[in-house]
Amino acid sequence: MAVRWTEKQQKVIESRNRNLLVSAAAGSGKTAVLVERIIRMISEGEHPLDIDQLLVMTFTNAAAAEMRERIGAAVEQKLKERPEDEHLWLQAALIPQAMITTIDSFCLNIIRNHFNSLDIDPAFRIGDEGELALLKSDVLGEMLEACYEEGREEFAGFVEHFGRGKSDRGIEDVILQAWQFSQSHPWPGEWLLNCRAELEEGNLEEMEQSPWMQFLFQDTARQMEELSAQLRSALSVCGEENGPQAYEPMLLSDVGKLEAIEQAASQGNFEVLYQSLKNMNFDRLASIRSKDIDGEKKAFVTACRDRVKKAVGKCRDLYGAQSPAEVVESIRGTKTVIAELLNLTGMFDEAYRAAKRERNVLDFNDLEHLALEVLLEKAPEEAQEQENKERRPSPAADELSRQFEEILVDEYQDSNYVQEALITSISRERFGHPNVFMVGDVKQSIYRFRLARPELFMEKYGSYSAEDGPYQMIELQQNFRSRESVLTSVNDIFYQIMTKNLGGITYTKDTALYPGASFQEVGGENVDETLKRKEGISLSAGTPTELLMVDTGAEALKQLDEDALDYTARELEARMIAKRIRELVSEEKGLLVWDKTKETYRRARLGDMVILLRSMTGWSEVFVNVLMNEGIPASAQTRTGYFNTVEVETVLSLLSVIDNPMQDIPLAAVMRSSIVGMDDEEMAWMMAAYKKNSKKGQDRGVYGAWTLWMDEEWEHPGTVPETAAASIRKKLAYLRELLGELRSEARHLPIHELLYRVYRKSGYYDYVSAMPAGETRRGNLDMLVEKAAAYEATSYKGLFHFVRYIEKLKKYDTDFGEASVAGEQDRTVRIMSIHKSKGLEFPVVFLAGMGKRFNKQDAYGRILLDADLGVAADHLDLDLRVKAPTLKKQALKRRMELETMGEELRVLYVAMTRAKEKLIMTASDKSLENKCSKWKDSMAVGGQIPYTVLATAGSYLDWVLMACPAVPKSHLEVTCVQVRELIGEEVGRQVMRRMTKEDLLAVDSARIYDKEAREKLEQAVNYRYPHMDDTGLYAMISVSELKKQSQIGRAPEAIGTSGTDTEGAVLEALAEPERETSGSSGRGALRGTAYHAALEHISFIHIQSLEETEQALEALVEKGYLDQESRELINGRDIWAFLKSPLGKRMAKAQEEGRIHKEQQFIIGIPAREMDRGDSDELVLIQGIIDAYLDEPDGLVLIDYKTDRVPGNDREQGAAMLAERYRVQLDYYERALTQLTGKRVKERMIYSLALQRSIKV
Helices (H) and strands (E) in the chain, counts: 51, 30
My answer on whether 722 and 607 are in the same domain is: no
Q: Is the pLDDT of residue 475 over 50?
A: yes
Q: Is the pLDDT of residue 1050 over 70?
A: no
Residue 1048 lies in a domain: no
Contact of 130 with 794, CB cutoff 8 Å: yes
Nearest residue to 63 via CA among 88, 30, 25, 97: 30
Task: Write out pLDDT tens, residues 67-76.
Answer: 999 999 999 9
pLDDT the model gives residue 831: 96
Report the first-to-last Cα separation within the chain, whole angstroms. Answer: 87
The CATH code of the domain that includes 1098 is 3.90.320.10
My answer on whether 110 and 203 are in the same domain is: no
**Beta strand pairing call for 478-479 and 514-515:** parallel
Q: How crowded is residue 748: how many other Cβ atoms within 10 Å of its Cβ?
A: 8
Q: Is the pLDDT of residue 1075 over 60?
A: no
pLDDT the model gives residue 958: 95
Nearest residue to 444 via CA among 111, 34, 914: 914
Contact of 1077 with 1085, CB cutoff 8 Å: yes
Confidence of residue 380 (pLDDT cuts 50, 70, 90): low
Residue 997 lies in a domain: no
pLDDT the model gives residue 1037: 56
31 is in an annotated binding site: yes
My answer on whether 624 and 676 are in the same domain is: no
**What value does the mean pLDDT take over residues 1036-1050?**
49
Q: Is the pLDDT of residue 58 over 60?
A: yes
Ramachandran bin of 290, using left for φ above 0, alpha for ψ from -120 to 50, beta for the remaining angles: beta
Contact of 969 with 520, CB cutoff 8 Å: no
Contact of 293 with 242, CB cutoff 8 Å: yes
Domain that holds residue 269: 125-359
Residue 256 lies in a domain: yes
Confidence of residue 1052 (pLDDT cuts 50, 70, 90): very low
**What value does the mean pLDDT take over residues 52-74?**
94
**What value does the mean pLDDT take over residues 25-51?**
95
Among 444, 459, 476, the domain-final residue is: 476
Q: Regarding predicted confidence, which is higher, 1178 or 516?
A: 516
Cβ-Cβ contacts under 8 Å for 257 (sequence gap 6 or more): 280, 281
pLDDT the model gives residue 346: 97
Contact of 434 with 472, CB cutoff 8 Å: no
24 is in an annotated binding site: yes
Confidence of residue 1058 (pLDDT cuts 50, 70, 90): very low
Confidence of residue 1055 (pLDDT cuts 50, 70, 90): very low
320 is in an annotated binding site: no
My answer on whether 1082 and 973 are in the same domain is: no
Task: Write out pLDDT tens, residues 900-921.
Answer: 999 999 999 999 999 999 999 9
Mean per-residue pLDDT of the chain: 85
Q: Regarding predicted confidence, which is higher, 390 or 465?
A: 465
Confidence of residue 640 (pLDDT cuts 50, 70, 90): low
**What value does the mean pLDDT take over residues 212-237?**
96
Q: Is the pLDDT of residue 355 over 80?
A: yes
Confidence of residue 524 (pLDDT cuts 50, 70, 90): low
29 is in an annotated binding site: yes
pLDDT the model gives residue 1014: 58
The CATH code of the domain that includes 694 is 1.10.486.10
My answer on whether 115 and 150 are in the same domain is: no
**What value does the mean pLDDT take over residues 158-173?**
88
pLDDT the model gives residue 1239: 84
Between CA 441 and CA 410 the distance in angstroms is 10
Between CA 1149 and CA 1145 the distance in angstroms is 6
26 is in an annotated binding site: yes
How far, CA to CA in Å, does 1218 sit from each of 832, 1230, 1251, 1253? 50, 17, 10, 12
Q: Is the pLDDT of residue 1076 over 60?
A: no
Q: How far is CA 626 from the centre of its chain?
A: 21
**Beta strand pairing call for 478-479 and 609-613:** unpaired
My answer on whether 138 and 112 are in the same domain is: no
* Percent of the chain residues topping a pLDDT of 70: 84
* Percent of the chain residues topping a pLDDT of 90: 57
**What value does the mean pLDDT take over residues 1134-1161?**
88
pLDDT the model gives residue 480: 95
Contact of 537 with 588, CB cutoff 8 Å: yes
Confidence of residue 1011 (pLDDT cuts 50, 70, 90): low
Angle between helices 30-43 and 61-81 (to 10 degrees): 50
Q: Is the pLDDT of residue 152 over 50?
A: yes
Q: Regarding predicted confidence, which is higher, 1167 or 517?
A: 517
My answer on whether 106 and 130 are in the same domain is: no
Instruction: Assign 3-state DSSP to the chain and report helix, strand, coil percentages, each to 5.
Output: 55, 15, 30
Confidence of residue 1018 (pLDDT cuts 50, 70, 90): low
DSSP 1082-1133: HHHHHHHHHHHHHHHHS-SSS--SHHHHHHHHHHHHHHTSS-HHHHHT--HH
The CATH code of the domain that includes 442 is 3.40.50.300
Q: Which range is least confidently modeled, 1-5, 315-319, 481-485?
A: 1-5
**Number of domain units in the chain:** 5
Residues linked to residue 768 through DSSP beta bridges, in sequence order: none
The CATH code of the domain that includes 337 is 1.10.274.50
268 is in an annotated binding site: no
Task: Write out pLDDT tens, residues 1082-1101.
Answer: 456 678 888 988 998 888 88
With H, G, I as helix, E, B as strand and everything else as coil, classify residue 782. Answer: helix
pLDDT the model gives residue 941: 45
Residue 645 lies in a domain: no
Across the chain, which distance is largest between two alpha carbons, in Å? 111
Residue 1145 lies in a domain: yes
Among 932, 954, 979, the domain-final residue is: 979
Residue 900 lies in a domain: yes
Residue 166 lies in a domain: yes
**What value does the mean pLDDT take over residues 1206-1218?**
81
My answer on whether 187 and 308 are in the same domain is: yes
Confidence of residue 1166 (pLDDT cuts 50, 70, 90): low
Contact of 517 with 481, CB cutoff 8 Å: yes
pLDDT the model gives residue 805: 83
Confidence of residue 1080 (pLDDT cuts 50, 70, 90): very low
Contact of 585 with 603, CB cutoff 8 Å: yes
Between CA 174 and CA 154 the distance in angstroms is 16
Q: Is the pLDDT of residue 822 over 70?
A: no
Confidence of residue 1049 (pLDDT cuts 50, 70, 90): very low
936 is in an annotated binding site: no
How far, CA to CA in Å, does 514 sit from each of 7, 57, 491, 667, 1236? 14, 28, 9, 61, 65
Q: What are the helix (H) ranges across 639-750?
A: 646-659, 664-672, 680-693, 701-709, 722-746
Among 946, 979, 1012, the domain-final residue is: 979
Give phi and psi for 580, each to the nearest 5.
-70, -35
pLDDT the model gives residue 1207: 72
pLDDT the model gives residue 1025: 52
Which of 440-454, 469-483, 555-569, 1214-1228 ranks highest by mean pLDDT? Answer: 469-483
Confidence of residue 1227 (pLDDT cuts 50, 70, 90): confident
My answer on whether 134 and 161 are in the same domain is: yes
955 is in an annotated binding site: no
Confidence of residue 1060 (pLDDT cuts 50, 70, 90): very low
pLDDT the model gives residue 460: 96
My answer on whether 455 and 318 are in the same domain is: no
My answer on whether 859 and 892 are in the same domain is: yes
Confidence of residue 1026 (pLDDT cuts 50, 70, 90): low
Confidence of residue 288 (pLDDT cuts 50, 70, 90): confident
Confidence of residue 824 (pLDDT cuts 50, 70, 90): very low
Residue 613 lies in a domain: yes
Q: Which range is least confidently modeled, 36-40, 178-182, 232-236, 994-998?
A: 994-998
pLDDT the model gives residue 1021: 57
My answer on whether 114 and 130 are in the same domain is: no
Cβ-Cβ contacts under 8 Å for 914 (sequence gap 6 or more): 610, 612, 837, 840, 841, 842, 845
